[in-house]
Each structure stands twice: as C-alpha cells, then as structure tokens.
C-alpha cells in the first residue's frame, strides 16, 4: 500500500498540471507554447534521471534513496507553488521530473525483491495501476480544487494551493520510509532480504 500511494500521489502531479495550465498561463501571461514547455521540462528531467536512480539503487539503501528522493520532490512541488516567474517554474518542474525517478525506478525494484515467489507480477501489476489511477485523480482533484477553493488564499492563487495540497499528501509516506530504514529488511534488499528478522518482515509486508 505504501508503494501504491507514493506512486499514486507522484503521478497525480502530472494530471494536476494539465488542469492547472490555463490558470498558470493567466498568472504569468504566457501562451500555449510556453505552457507546453512546462510539461516538457518535467518529462525531460524524468527521462534523464531514471538511469541515474537505477545505478544508485545498486549502491544505496533503497528506502533511504526513496525517502530522500521523494522529500526532494515535495520540496520542488513547494517551489512550483511559490514560483515567482515562468522561468523559475520551468526550472522547478524540470527538477521535479528528475526526483520522480526515485519513485518510478526504486519502487518497482523494491516490490520485485520482497514479493512472495510467484506473486511478483501481481504485485507489480497492482503497483502500475496507480499510474493511470493517479493521473485521473490529479485531473479530478485539480478541477474540484479550482472550482471550490478561493482564488486568493493568503495571497496565493488557487493553482498554487492545489500544488501544495497534493505535495502534502506525501509527507506521512516519507516519514514511514525513514522509519522503515531502521529495519534490516528495508535497508538492504538482497536476494534473501525477506528472510531474517521476523518483526521487520511483518511490518514490511503490512506497510507494502
């Protein structure tokens, strides 16, 4: 469940952006072309980062790598929401895409390691469902937020507060990741990682 939710709220950011673009265009007085570059920056950053996080996975404790990556992702979401100009938003969106690599690369590898024999495909299938569901949720949440939330909340446009609200959902999940780093099964995911300390194994399976 941790893996599903973490990926769910991460990809929801992409669906959210598609709904918020008209408001972003109005705020920064930009055209459709410039607005399109915002999504492009995210995709380029994500594409370049995927290989890097894949390499880091072989040398760093995966849960620490995941927790640090998503913590940085939340920081970038806050930067998106508080961006004072179009170009600062463009840069922060690119970095957001980079840090999403921690989720997209590390989580499937973790699931593949800890899933019981014969159930890896089922667990991974459930995980990847969160991609489509998360994007759809982001679009729904963005429309609902823009429709019902005031456009001037302590000086912030409602598209900015929508970003903050979605990013805040990751905070408790990040705390769980850091807590799990204390368990041996989380910190090392070797071939025999599911065996060993029974307490950490039980907690691991319950959270995932």
pLDDT value, residue 189: 52
- Cα–Cα dist 33/102, whole Å: 29
- Cα–Cα dist 179/102, whole Å: 18
pTM above 0.85, yes or no: no
pLDDT value, residue 140: 94
Q: Which of 14-28, 68-82, 86-100, 146-160 has the lowest mean pLDDT?
A: 146-160
CA distances, 55 to each of 105, 163, 169, 191 (Å):
10, 30, 28, 18
- CA torsion sign for 196, 4, 37, 21 is negative
Half-sphere exposure of 194 (CA within 13 A, CB side): 12
CATH number at residue 133: 1.20.1250.20
- Cα–Cα dist 31/105, whole Å: 34
Domain count, the chain: 1
pLDDT value, residue 144: 92
What range does the domain containing 77 cover? 2-207
**97-126 confidence digits (pLDDT tens):** 888 877 777 788 778 777 788 888 888 888
pLDDT value, residue 182: 53
């Amino acid at each position: 469940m941790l893996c599903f939710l973490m990926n769910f709220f991460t990809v929801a950011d992409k669906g959210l952006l598609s709904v918020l673009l008209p408001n972003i265009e109005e705020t920064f007085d930009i055209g459709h072309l410039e607005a399109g570059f915002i999504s492009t920056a995210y995709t380029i950053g994500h594409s370049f980062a995927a290989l890097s996080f894949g390499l880091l996975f072989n040398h760093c404790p995966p849960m620490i790598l995941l927790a640090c990556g998503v913590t940085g992702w939340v920081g970038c979401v806050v930067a998106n929401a508080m961006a004072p100009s179009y170009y600062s938003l463009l840069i922060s969106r690119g970095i957001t895409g980079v840090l999403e690599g921690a989720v997209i690369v590390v989580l499937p590898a973790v699931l593949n390691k800890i899933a019981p024999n014969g159930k890896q495909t089922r667990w991974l299938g459930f995980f990847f469902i969160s991609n489509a569901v998360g994007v759809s949720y982001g679009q729904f949440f963005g429309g609902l937020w823009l429709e019902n939330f005031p456009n001037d909340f302590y000086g912030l446009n409602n598209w900015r507060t929508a970003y903050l609200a979605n990013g805040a959902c990751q905070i408790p999940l990040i705390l769980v990741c850091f807590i799990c780093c204390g368990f041996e099964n989380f910190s090392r995911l070797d071939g025999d990682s599911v065996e060993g300390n029974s307490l950490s194994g039980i907690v691991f399976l319950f959270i995932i």
